[in-house]
Copies of this chain bind each other. A is one copy, B any other.
Amino acid sequence: MAAWGERLAGVRGVLLDISGVLYDGGEGGGAPIAGSVEALARLKRSQLKVRFCTNESQKSRGDLVGMLRRLGFDISEGEVTAPAPATCLILKERGLRPHLLIHDGVRSEFDQIDTSNPNCVVIADAGEGFSYQNMNKAFQVLMELENPVLLSLGKGRYYKETSGLMLDVGPYMKALEYACGIEAEVVGKPSPEFFKSALREMGLEAHQAIMIGDDIMGDVSGAQRCGMRALQVRTGKFRPSDEHHPEVKADGYVDNLAEAVDLLLQHADK
């Protein structure tokens, strides 16, 4: 593999995944990953542009940022690209009135959305809200529509909490796709539209930006298919087999965000 200087040449901005990179979620709000608070602070003091790109769909953007600030991270709401606000834009643009299968923690993001007489279903990481009854209701709403529309806030397979691996929204999206014989529209990583909106908000072209994430598909493959570079951290949901994935090869593997920032500050934009 080429030297780091070559791999990171021309990078002017960094897109950071949040869960599994900055912190690990879990009971009591989660805990920072060792070195990440300080690494983010160093990154923000550098000349590199920084933006956060998350598929978090259990919390509103405000609650997420509040929690991260309490953990010590330098982050503000305006720096975060998240699927719930992106979904609200799509709903308004297309005149869609959703049946919401979502976590109560993110419901406030949809306060301004008309949910009467639904003509689509929005599914997010509902956690315990993925009861049989709630899934069956979403299924029935879709089956009654002439042109069933299913919007999914991400399609992650699972994430890691302190208590272990937890099913994400993706498996439930697949369940509804199979039950109804339809294909969902994904809002969030790895959707190219979602990465592009984050790049627009940073004012950079894809080749000038690098994604740092723990998810080989959602972060690494998604960003690369968008023309960006991508580093995978060996924290969060990273598994050693990711480094031998048959199809996806990150532009580099690092132990954690701190190592990624060390390398970036040393080699980027040189």
Contact = CB atoms under 8 A, between A and B. Distances in A.
A253 B45 CA distance: 72
A166 interface: yes
Interface in A177-199: 177-181
Nearest to A179: B171
Nearest to A132: B130
What secondary structure prevails in chain A residues at the interface with B? helix
Interface stretch (A67-75, A136-144, A221-229): A136-144
A133 B167 CA distance: 9
A181 B177 CA distance: 17
Interface residues of A, number: 31
Nearest to A129: B132
Contacts of A178: 157, 170-171, 174
A158 interface: yes
A170 to B, nearest CB: 6
A196 B266 CA distance: 65
A135 interface: yes
A117 interface: no
Closest CB pairs A-B (n = 8): A171-B175, A171-B179, A130-B132, A174-B178, A175-B175, A157-B179, A128-B132, A174-B174
21 contacts: A130-B131, A130-B132, A131-B132, A132-B167, A135-B171, A136-B166, A139-B158, A139-B167, A157-B179, A157-B180, A157-B181, A158-B179, A170-B179, A171-B174, A171-B175, A171-B176, A171-B178, A171-B179, A172-B175, A174-B174, A174-B175
